[in-house]
Amino acid sequence: MNMPVTVVNGRTGRPYGIRHPVRTAWSVVQIVAASLIFFGSVRAQGSSSPISLSGTFDAGTEMYSSEGIDPRRPHNAFRAVFSPTISIFDQIRLPFEFYVTSEDRGFQQPFNQFGVNPELWGWLTLHAGYYTANTSELTYGDARMLGAGVEARPGNFRMAFLYGRIQQALAPDTANGFRGAFERRAWAAKIGYGAETGLHLYVNLMRAYDDSTSLSGAPPDVAPKENLVASVQYGIPLLTHALFLSGEFALATISNDTRIAPLDSSTGFLSSMFTPRYSSQVDGAATISLAITPSETWSLQFSGRWVGPGYVTLGYPLLQNDDLDGLVSPSVRLFDHKLSIRGSLGLRYNNLRNTKLSTTRRTIGTMNISVLPAPEWGVDFMYANYGMQSGTVNDTLRLANISQSVTISPRYTFPAFGGLSTTLLTYSMQQFTDFNTITGSLSDNTTHAGVVSWIMSWPSTFALTTTLMYTSSVAYAYETIVKGITETAAYSLSGAVSTHLSVGYTEIRTVGDDGQIVGRASVTYSPKGWGSFTLTISSNAYNYDPRSSAASFREHVGSLSYSYGF
């Protein structure tokens, strides 16, 4: 796991860039070198050593220049990633990750990271720093946490407790349209019995709360929140595991503004974790799944989910509520697995309590067929269909559309020219049809795309790959056609040196004819026992049609990287 480490501006938490990138990088290199020397000497004492070290170290620097356009990336950048894992008596594993880079990501997660997640005795995991953990599908799982946690799995028992910050305070930034955010902390807990694949019962709790003093000058629509979620998970095997029933039901309450006055005071265990307010709401959610697997040749799974319109868990910030969906997924494998068929069909509805002007219905269907009559050739087929329809009768507001796609991919391998040749063909069609009377003609679009590749390899470690590409996209009032060819050569000069060269040309036609030439060359040197060094040079030349007002441009990138595994 990772733990970002960054210099922040007071409580607003906006990360600054690294002020002395070269000095910082050199410090990291010194730490890494010292670690490798020390633990290398420990490992050299023999396999009976109580402490062993494994992991990877990657470092690189990059130079960039452009002509005709403003730079789209830094002129120079560096990065270093050190991921060691310390093992003690083959019972305790301590994985770390250090990440240092000269780049900055603004309001997003900083790149400079550190974290530790030791695994002890095969059933205990500890978390410290930045990490991601999951308690259940309806309580906590997406929000990344800066803090500490423990997950225990002794035998059939399941216990977990996580605590930390899941959102840092960020001041409003009107120039970038950012409204601001309060600091948010959370804890999540799980306790239960049984393995996930067998009979089990778990109870989950999650509480998240904002620090109302962590942000000043917040706009009225940015308010501190408080959230409490409880759920029960279950799994029941039936008919000697040919049937498996599982699911979860949950209840969530949230105060949308903790500055609002509380309701009448109450006492009890729950009141110590959540304060009901005039801004509070309560709702539920549930999932259910029935898996039928009577044999290895076929299976069938039914699943459903209901999330009330007022159900909110800050442990899953992007969880969609006001949602009811069901899915059936069959799977068949025939003729010694030479023919495999998988599919799914689902329906999704919203407006569960008629709180919207209309109900939207979505249909989701997919099918995947794989045919492998012989090792030399095979065909894959995929079809997907997504439809949406709303219940409103107003032509302007009515939603009714279908998005579908088809992909066919045959492949064939055969000997030729003293080596082995493989041909790959992929054709895909994507179509969007809007049935709205007003907007239909403006939104309809169809795209056809085809890619043909011929890969030739010889025993002399020389390989050539030729790729042809064609795409046609037709939308309202215009058509875009893209054609391209790419040639790639790879050759190993010895066991320690390998080279790679790629040149491609692409033509883009919409109103005028644009052209793009891309070239890339790399050399990798891998001295035995010392990792590998890679030098890469690439260039991109984009030439606009002379009738276009846009200016043509050039971009050049050079990079040197080092990778070592131990």
> 338-371 pLDDT, tens per residue?
999 999 999 999 989 988 878 888 899 999 999 9
Q: Categorize the per-residue pLDDT at 529 as very low, low, confident or very high, splitting at 50, 70 and 90.
A: confident
- Name 315's bridge partners: 140
Instruction: Give the pLDDT confidence score for residue 36 in this predicted structure.
Output: 45
117, 133, 115, 135: which is closest to 125 by C-alpha? Answer: 117
* H-helix or E-strand spanning residue 27: helix 21-44
Is the pLDDT assigned to residue 392 strictly greater than 70?
Answer: no
Instruction: Give the pLDDT confidence score for residue 48 in this predicted structure.
Output: 54
Q: What is the identity of the amino acid at 200?
A: H
Mean of the per-residue pLDDT values for the chain?
A: 84
Instruction: Give the pLDDT confidence score for residue 108 in this predicted structure.
Output: 31
CA 137 vs CA 125, 157, 158: distances in Å: 20, 19, 16
Q: In this predicted model, what pLDDT tens digit does every residue of 469-480 receive, in sequence order?
A: 999 999 887 889
Q: Categorize the per-residue pLDDT at 5 as very low, low, confident or very high, splitting at 50, 70 and 90.
A: very low
For range 276-287, the mean pLDDT: 93
- Higher local confidence (pLDDT), 403 or 1: 403
What is the residue extent of each domain of the chain? 1-116, 141-321
SS3 168: coil
Buried b / exposed e over 392-405, threshold 16 CB at 10 Å, is: beeeeebbbbeeeb
Concatenated DSSP letters of 380-429: EEEEEEEEEEE----TTT--EEEEEEEEEEEEEEEEETTEEEEEEEEEEE
Q: How far apart are alpha carbons 299 and 132 in whole angstroms?
A: 32
For range 223-238, the mean pLDDT: 95
Instruction: Give the pLDDT confidence score for residue 115 in this predicted structure.
Output: 65
For range 70-90, the mean pLDDT: 84
CA 329 vs CA 175, 274, 294, 344, 366: distances in Å: 47, 40, 15, 4, 9
CA 541 vs CA 66, 71, 503, 518: distances in Å: 10, 14, 12, 6
* H-helix or E-strand spanning residue 255: strand 243-255
Q: Categorize the per-residue pLDDT at 25 as very low, low, confident or very high, splitting at 50, 70 and 90.
A: very low
List the structure tokens of 410. 């045959």
The angle subtended at Cα 344 by Cα 340 and Cα 350, nearest 5°, is 170
User: What are the φ/ψ torsions at residue 164 (nearest 5 degrees)?
Assistant: 165, -170
489, 424, 487: which is closest to 462 by C-alpha? Answer: 489
Instruction: Give the pLDDT confidence score for residue 267 in this predicted structure.
Output: 56
- Measured in residues, the chain has a length of 566
Q: In this predicted model, what pLDDT tens digit does every residue of 163-200 receive, in sequence order?
A: 999 988 888 887 777 888 999 999 999 999 999 989 99
Q: Categorize the per-residue pLDDT at 508 as very low, low, confident or very high, splitting at 50, 70 and 90.
A: very high
Instruction: Give the pLDDT confidence score for residue 39 in this predicted structure.
Output: 43
Distance of CA 329 to the CA centre of its chain: 23
User: What are the φ/ψ torsions at residue 46 (nearest 5 degrees)?
Assistant: 130, 165
CA 291 vs CA 196, 242, 298, 300: distances in Å: 14, 8, 11, 6
Instruction: Give the pLDDT confidence score for residue 471 in this predicted structure.
Output: 96
Share of the chain above pLDDT 90, in %: 52
475, 463, 468: which is closest to 449 by C-alpha? Answer: 468
Instruction: Give the pLDDT confidence score for residue 435 in this predicted structure.
Output: 75
Instruction: Give the pLDDT confidence score for residue 201 in this predicted structure.
Output: 97
Is the pLDDT assigned to residue 554 strictly greater than 90?
Answer: yes
List the structure tokens of 30. 């010194």
Q: State the Rg of the chain over Cα.
A: 29
Share of the chain above pLDDT 70, in %: 85
Q: How far apart are alpha carbons 258 and 314 in whole angstroms?
A: 15
Q: How far apart are alpha carbons 540 and 169 in whole angstroms?
A: 40
